[in-house]
Structure 1
Amino acid sequence: MEKFDIAIIGGGPAGIMAAIAASRTSRVILLEKNPSLGCKLLLTGGGRCNITNGKPIKQLLTFFNNKNFLKHSFYTFTNEDLLSLFDLDFISEEDDRIFPKSGKSSDILKGLNDLLEDVSICYNFEVKSISDDFVINDKLKADKIIIATGGVTYPKTGSGIYNYSLTSQPITDIRYGLSPLVTKKDLSDIAGVTIRDVVISYKKSKVRGDVLFSHVGLTGPGIINISNEISESISYNLLESQPDIDLEIAIDLCPELSRDDLKFKFTNDFQKKGKTRLKNYLKLFLTNSFTDFFLDEINLDGNLELSRVNKKSKNRLVENLKRFTFEITDFNSNLAKVTIGGIDLTHVNPRTMESTLTPGLYFAGEVLNLHGPTGGYNLKIAFSTGYLAGISASEK
């Protein structure tokens, strides 16, 4: 039976980074169930790889509920440390999202692969059992093990609920994160249309961003981020059942103007531009391709001249511009980007990523109960916790 200092289970961003860090001083094997590494990494950022978020660490940590747990890993392996590993140019885009200038996630994966030259890699290797003395599948043995198997999203990349059963480590409820939403209403007529810089509300939560309409519902950065608030407010656990959803979200289509501002503007404009048709006037606030849908939904005639719009219709217009609602019936789970929940952080040392229950067992990345918004935050978690797990396992 072949023996290694460290066995790493999972060849995603966290597992790869753990292997790179650990291999500097230890004999390491990386076990991947797919025929290649980084399957999910290639999908990130729309195939461009939003490798991290460039905000200063102190500010970056404010975007995470478990910021105290992440603090040590973020300072141990910074964005500068990460980007310096690559012989690539990077660019910063809106909200400090960092991408390779080439726009190719494959360039990031190639750079990481080049750093694995001292790591033994075993492809098409599905880990089914880990014994108490760290024998894996009765085939190989390790002094220490790092589990970086990811969550439950994108199962085609190797994720799955069964990954949580490899150890007896306590697990929190598992939920979908950063997911598009399925609407009760068929939105096929406006599929592909985007409304920009709006405010999406669910209960007391508000998120500002773009909304994209799809054939089955809503997506885009704003929707993706509010989905976390929705998911965490519902009682369900994917280890046991699927969520049962019947709720409403609201979109403020004119966040820069209050209801009073809109009423005042309408009073003046409807008098001055009385011959203008309503659908043409609304181009001041809405995209052309969304206007007809909006008017149909609130039952107003777009061909009506402004001078003929009565007070009741004006009020309806104002109310819906400030609070346009959609009934939500499900998560579009096939496109959920991350997993909410995972290995309970109570029993993991944040300074090493080692289990406090099983010495020599470490965790990294999405398998942990860690998640953030869209925009490079989740890859930041993967790379930093992976690096910390790797150096901790190799130094002890």
Structure 2
Amino acid sequence: MKEYEIAIVGGGPSGLMAAVAALGKNIVILEKNDSLASKLLLTGGGRCNLTNNKPIKKLLNSFHDKNFLKHSFYTLTNEKLISIFENQGLYFIEEDDNRIFPETERAVDVLDTLTDYLEDVDIKYNFKVESIDKKDDKFIIDDNIKASSVIIATGGITYPQTGSTGDGYYLTSHEVSDIKYGLSPLITRDDLRDYAGINLYNVSVSYKKSEIFGDVLITHQGLTGPAILNISNLISYDNDYNLLDNKNIVLDNVRIAIDLTPDYTRDELSEKFILDFQAKGKTLLKNYLKYLLTNSFIPLFLEKAGLDGEVKLANITKKDKNKLINSLKGLEFEIVGFMGELSKVTVGGIKIDDINSKTMESKLVEGLYFAGEVLEPVGYTGGYNLKIAFSTGYLAGMSASKSLD
């Protein structure tokens, strides 16, 4: 039985960063696939959105579990994270919404840079961990490997084709919260196949009291795009289900509303329509809407709003004008489910109440650490989730290393 100081279960972003942070110790990475970080290579459309460069306090305020993440974010700041790569010659650019990408726009370069650090780290591929036991202050993994510390970095349950199948939920005695879809396209009650491919730019999507700005894309099954992916997290938090029990999720009485004209208030639209309807009285409503909406979206809008596009502006009733304003400011869609196969992250995981946020060490088992998506915290699209992975991984690796000194 080979012995190591630190065994890292999972060779994704958090596991690799844990190894980087613990360099100098005798480390093994146990990866179930035949290659490292399969999911990392898919992020940012294959470009790898490394992190989000908002000021750290503003960044933390974007997270549901900001108090738990605070210490890891301050331990591995964005500046320090980027320097890890720049020290190996990989540089970055900042795009809209503070998103950070490698200059090469290749996720594989991020992976290659991380692996360049790991020349002295033992990596075992096609190694699916089945059991972890602790005997005499040592961890025994599959009766094959002995380690002083173990870091669980197995990821969540989404994108199972990359190896993320929820293995880490079952390897310890730690409680697991309900596991749900995150950053998922949504399935609508409406049949939108005839409108698939239409983009709605710079709109606002609301769910109950929450509102998220961004783009929306209509698909054959429903809606996607950054604003929809982000709102899906809130829908998951708000609805009772657990993917560990059942993956065929049907939502009941879930509605979102899209503000198609967020630059106008209702009063401003009303005033605009008074002036425009007088000045352009002979114009048909469907033609007038071209000034406000994507042309190909207008038929769907009119259908859902219950308005006649052939009516002239001068003949629109007060009732229909109010209906027009209400629909522009909040076009409703009923959501019946998630496109789970396209869910990018997992909501839920190992309960953070049992994890020391200052070290990522278990409060239940000394020497056992957790990092990345296997934990409960989840973020929006735009570099937030890789930020969690890298920061918690770094803190776990650093803490495990220091505990052995």
TM-score scaled by structure 2?
0.95
Q: Does 2:17 align with 1:12?
A: no
CA distance in 2 between partners of 1:25 and 1:110 (Å):
20
Structure 1 runs of 4+ aligned residues shifted over 4 Å read none
CA distance in 2 between partners of 1:297 and 1:343 (Å):
42
Q: Which residue of 2 aligns with 1:37?
A: 36
Partner SS state of residue 142, structure 1: strand
Q: 1:199 aligns with which of 189, 204, 210?
A: 204
CA distance in 2 between partners of 1:319 and 1:387 (Å):
48
Q: Does 2:402 align with 1:395?
A: yes
Q: Which residue of 1 aligns with 2:251?
A: 245
Q: 2:293 aligns with which of 275, 286, 292?
A: 286
Give the share of equivalent positions with the same residue, in percent.
59
Question: What is the CA distance between 1:218 and its match in structure 2?
Answer: 0.5
With 195-204 and 26-35 compared, the bigger mean Cα shift is at 195-204
Partner SS state of residue 21, structure 2: helix
CA distance in 1 between partners of 2:117 and 2:324 (Å):
58
Q: 2:367 aligns with which of 328, 338, 360?
A: 360
Partner SS state of residue 112, structure 2: helix
Q: Does 2:279 align with 1:277?
A: no
CA distance in 1 between partners of 2:46 and 2:375 (Å):
24
CA distance in 2 between partners of 1:313 and 1:244 (Å):
34
Partner letter of residue 154 of structure 1?
Y
Partner letter of residue 250 of structure 2?
D
Partner SS state of residue 133, structure 2: coil
Residue-pair matches, total = 395
Q: Which residue of 1 aligns with 2:95?
A: 93
Partner SS state of residue 68, structure 2: helix
With 55-64 and 2-11 compared, the bigger mean Cα shift is at 55-64
Q: How does 1:1-396 map to 2 (within 5 A)?
A: 1-22=1-22, 24-86=23-85, 87-133=89-135, 134-242=139-247, 243-246=249-252, 247-396=254-403
Question: What is the CA distance between 1:236 and its match in structure 2?
Answer: 1.4
CA distance in 1 between partners of 2:273 and 2:76 (Å):
54
CA distance in 2 between partners of 1:312 and 1:377 (Å):
44
Question: What is the CA distance between 1:147 and its match in structure 2?
Answer: 0.2
Question: What is the CA distance between 1:241 and its match in structure 2?
Answer: 2.7
Partner SS state of residue 150, structure 1: coil
Question: What is the CA distance between 1:233 and its match in structure 2?
Answer: 0.6
Partner SS state of residue 85, structure 1: helix
Contact 2:216/2:224 (8 A) holds in 1: yes
The structure-2 alpha-carbon separation of the partners of 1:139 and 1:376, relative to structure 1 and needing over 3 Å to count, comes to same
Structure 2 gaps, min length 5: none
Question: What is the CA distance between 1:78 and its match in structure 2?
Answer: 1.2
Partner SS state of residue 84, structure 2: coil
CA distance in 1 between partners of 2:72 and 2:206 (Å):
33
Question: What is the CA distance between 1:281 and its match in structure 2?
Answer: 1.1
CA distance in 1 between partners of 2:32 and 2:107 (Å):
21
CA distance in 2 between partners of 1:127 and 1:330 (Å):
33
CA deviation string 1:354-378 (max 9, x = no partner): 1111011000001111111111111
TM-score scaled by structure 1?
0.97
Question: What is the CA distance between 1:269 and its match in structure 2?
Answer: 0.5
CA distance in 2 between partners of 1:104 and 1:280 (Å):
43
Question: What is the CA distance between 1:280 and its match in structure 2?
Answer: 1.9
Contact 2:152/2:168 (8 A) holds in 1: no
Partner letter of residue 41 of structure 1?
L
Structure 1 gaps, min length 5: none
- Give the RMSD, CA atoms, in angstroms: 1.3
